[in-house]
């Protein structure tokens, strides 16, 4: 894909569309980011064929259908997805069935713009898959667009990105290049997030975080994720826990479980975060930056464990340590109460 990176790069939107030969783009956003979508539409000028501003978390199939109809109705030859993972996900859902190319302008650190992974939710179940057709053709990273991302969302979104890098480091299909990218990504976000919490307008820190998110997304797109992503998928899909916050709370507990069996990943993360105790460090920093500390805070109750464990052990998948029901219960109990949080 093409990538444009830098403060003010939204100004190059029309040029990107022209480079891809796109003349009729449907601009996608959430209702919250309609004003930003209008700004993007203005930049596109007559290359904007219309707007669809109803993107929702986890791409409900009804929303995907409505967006596809809007694209058909507007005679769109592509989509411009401006926003977080939910909006990028909607662009992917359109691409999946229509083949329409997507330009993505990410405004969070979720990383979806770098992956061929799509997701669709129907009757409370999220299905995901991989298809190269959904990978955006061009990504425009403009740190200025992330300056307004509230600190709490910046922190949890940043930890969502870090989780991609952590699992890429011990992925069954990891490679030395991906591992180098993952380590650098964690280093970037590890310094950028506290700086953003101290001053959300710090454009250098915003650029570092977005560069880290780019790397994390590329790691996610290149490798197979393990226990952490599996659990977050279940907790989000079945119990409606908030996506980025769930990643943030759970990551230290999965790290505590997996890293002893993944020494190279452990060393890499220790170097990147300058700590001897990666799980404790992750729990402490996220708490200090104001993120939720426990799954209980996010609404999970012990009664939800059975279903979580059943789903997480239903099918085998690669993980540094065998995932047994007993081990999972202990992990979930610790995360429920926030045992590692200061
Ligand atoms: P999101 O896209 O749902 O955004 C949350 C809210 O924040 C929305 O209302 C959005 O409009 C608003 N927002 C976004 N950027 C903002 C900004 N800069 N300033 C102010 N408000 C802003 O949240 P997310 O965490 O980015 O995405 C989560 C979704 O992405 C989940 O459905 C997740 O499964 C998916 N995801 C997919 C992949 C993949 O590879 N397929 C990767 C990561 C996440």
CA 267 to centroid of ligand 1, rounded, Å:
30
For residue 204, the model assigns a pLDDT of: 98
For residue 111, the model assigns a pLDDT of: 97
Among 31, 108, 134, residue to substitute to test ligand 1 (most atoms within 8 Å of Cβ):
108
Mean pLDDT, all residues of the chain: 97
What pLDDT, in 10s, does the model give residues 172-203?
A: 999 999 999 999 999 999 999 999 999 999 99
Instruction: Please indicate whether residue 294 or residue 237 has the higher confidence score (pLDDT).
Output: 294
Place of tokens 């952590």: 166
Q: Indicate if the pLDDT at residue 124 is higher than 90.
A: no
117 Cβ contact list (under 8 Å, min separation 6): 92, 128, 129, 130, 134, 220, 221
Please identify, by atom number, the ligand 1 atom nearest to the C-alpha of residue 119.
Answer: 41
Band of residue 126 on the pLDDT scale cut at 50, 70, 90: confident
What span, in angstroms and rounded, lies between the C-alpha atoms of 259 and 195?
27
119 Cβ contact list (under 8 Å, min separation 6): 58, 59, 89, 92, 126, 127, 128
The DSSP line for 132-180 is GGGS-SEEEE-GGGGTTS-HHHHHHHHHHHHHHHHHHHT-TT--HHHHH
Tokens of 310: 């059943």
CA 208 to centroid of ligand 1, rounded, Å:
19
What average pLDDT score do residues 7-11 get? 97
For residue 123, the model assigns a pLDDT of: 85
Ligand 1 within 6 A of CB of 107: yes
For residue 185, the model assigns a pLDDT of: 98
Domains of the chain as residue ranges with CATH: 2-146 (3.40.50.1970), 151-337 (1.20.1090.10)
The helix-helix angle for 278-288 and 243-258 (nearest 10°) equals 160
Band of residue 125 on the pLDDT scale cut at 50, 70, 90: confident
What span, in angstroms and rounded, lies between the C-alpha atoms of 242 and 80?
25
Please identify, by atom number, the ligand 1 atom nearest to the C-alpha of residue 31.
Answer: 11
């Amino acid at each position: 894909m093409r990538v444009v990176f830098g403060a003010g790069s939204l100004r190059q939107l029309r040029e990107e569309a022209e480079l891809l030969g796109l003349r009729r783009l449907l601009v996608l956003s959430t209702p919250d980011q309609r004003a930003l979508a209008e700004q993007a539409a203005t930049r596109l000028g007559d290359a904007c064929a219309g707007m669809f501003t109803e993107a929702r978390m986890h791409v409900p199939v009804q929303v995907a259908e409505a967006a596809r109809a809007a694209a058909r109705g507007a005679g769109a030859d592509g989509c411009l997805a401006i926003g977080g993972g939910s909006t990028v996900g909607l662009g992917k859902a359109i691409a999946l069935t229509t083949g329409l190319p997507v330009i993505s302008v990410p405004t969070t650190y979720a990383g979806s713009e770098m992956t061929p992974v799509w997701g669709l939710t129907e009757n409370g179940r999220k299905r995901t898959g991989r298809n190269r057709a959904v990978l955006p053709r061009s990504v425009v990273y403009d740190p200025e667009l992330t300056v307004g991302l509230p600190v709490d969302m910046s922190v949890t979104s940043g930890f969502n990105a870090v989780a991609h890098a952590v699992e890429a480091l011990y992925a069954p299909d990891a490679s030395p290049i991906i591992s180098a990218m993952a380590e650098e990504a964690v280093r970037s976000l590890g310094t950028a997030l506290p700086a953003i919490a101290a001053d959300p307008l710090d454009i250098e820190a915003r650029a570092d975080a977005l560069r880290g998110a780019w790397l994390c997304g590329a790691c996610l797109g290149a490798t197979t994720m393990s226990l952490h992503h599996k659990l977050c998928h279940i907790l989000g899909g079945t119990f409606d826990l908030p996506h980025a916050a769930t990643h943030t709370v759970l990551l230290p507990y999965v790290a505590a479980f997996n890293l002893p069996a993944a020494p190279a990943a452990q060393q890499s993360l220790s170097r990147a975060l300058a700590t001897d105790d990666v799980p404790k460090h992750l729990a402490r920093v996220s708490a200090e930056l104001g993120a939720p500390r426990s799954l209980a805070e996010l609404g999970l109750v012990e009664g939800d464990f059975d279903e979580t464990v059943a789903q997480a052990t239903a099918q085998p998948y690669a993980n540094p340590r065998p995932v047994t029901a007993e081990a999972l219960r202990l992990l979930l109990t610790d995360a429920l109460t926030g045992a590692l949080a200061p």
